[in-house]
Amino acid sequence: MKKTGASPSRKIPGALAAVAGVLLLLPLAGLDAFLLNVLTVGFLMAVYTGSWDIVGGVAGQVSLGHALFFGAATYGCALLTSLAGWPFPLAAAAALLLAAAAGAAAGALSAPLKGPFVALLTLALGEAAHEYFLGQTFFSPEGAYSWGGEGGIPVLLSGPPFSPWTLYYAALAFLVLSLWLMLRITRSEEGLFWTALSGSELSARASGVDIPKHKRRAFVVGSLFAGAAGIGFAACVGRATADDFSLELSFQAATFAAIGGRGTIVGPVLAALVFHSLLQGTGIPSEVRVLFYALVLLLTLRFFPGGVAGTLRERARSRRMVLQGKGRTR
């Protein structure tokens, strides 16, 4: 029998290792501090998008307010370090728990719902948090000035500031570890339950799956990764603002996941890394970017239901099968 080569699933680890190797050596090419910062933030946004894919892709619970968990972590770090005087490591641990609590609450509220009602609920929760923190003012411990709103709240790190190289490699290591963990979780028994939810809740319920419990777990796990990305972002940027809860950030994750292929984890992570790095610093107004993300999301879901990469891959596989069938008939 003629061998057709390695399957695409077997090629993925090698391709990811090649990408990681390039990213590992990239700073040695003489990148300046700005480009290093763009890539550093891109690594964090890639993890954030992967966290969305756990909820909206693998478990099928489309969230349009996913920035709620990201912003909860950034604001937790800012408030605890700047106002409460906590050391950053302790504040980061508490902020991660806060993000998980927000995910548990969102999961509990959305558990009885399905389809567009989950999207509307999460959209309302995210926008409510955004509007609240946009108008909320916090006074400095000395009382001399106020923080909050668009200006945000500073995040105080323990010790001297990190160099761009340190932040870059720390964010890259965080991305690699998070991607590995997300893949392990989605391929576990719990991940199989999430896949069942995404396929058909009715069939999953008939098979004895506890739908509300596994929905809540998907939200908690997704919020933990989103919160971890938010903590890294807070440490990198040094400030938490109301934009960390913004609709743009939520739509960004959903759009990148749709482009990369919902439910694949790897596809959304790579799409976020590429497109966020390309769009960073373009100067496009926030309102225009939101409309752009919404339009791309609708077009992708309409014409590329498996994601751009996934749909093209399926079409190429179908074309190969047709050509192989024609070859056998000759």
**Residue range 62-74, pLDDT digits in tens:** 999 999 999 999 9
Report the alpha-carbon distance of residue 140 to residue 148 in Å, rounded. Answer: 10
H or E element that contains 174: helix 164-186
Question: Quick one: pLDDT at residue 36?
Answer: 87
Question: Quick one: pLDDT at residue 2?
Answer: 43
Q: What share of the chain is helix, strand, coil (3-state, %, to 5)?
A: 75, 5, 20
Terminal CA-to-CA distance of the chain, rounded, Å? Answer: 17
CA 105 to chain CA mean position, Å: 19
What does the mean pLDDT of the chain come to? Answer: 84
Please tell me the total number of residues recorded for the chain in this structure. Answer: 330
CA 142 to chain CA mean position, Å: 36
Tokens (6 digits) for 43: 């690594």
Q: How far is CA 132 from CA 150, 241, 243, 299, in A?
A: 12, 12, 11, 32
Report the alpha-carbon distance of residue 205 to residue 124 in Å, rounded. Answer: 27
Task: Give the domain ranges of the chain.
Answer: 16-329
Tokens (6 digits) for 252: 């960004």
**pLDDT value at 3 more than 60:** no
Give the confidence band of 5 by pLDDT, cuts at 50, 70, 90. Answer: very low
**Residue range 285-299, pLDDT digits in tens:** 777 777 878 788 788
Question: Quick one: pLDDT at residue 72?
Answer: 96
The Cβ of residue 36 has, within 10 Å, a number of other Cβ atoms equal to 19
Give the confidence band of 109 by pLDDT, cuts at 50, 70, 90. Answer: very high
**CATH code at 16-329:** 1.10.3470
Question: Quick one: pLDDT at residue 313?
Answer: 62
Give the confidence band of 300 by pLDDT, cuts at 50, 70, 90. Answer: confident
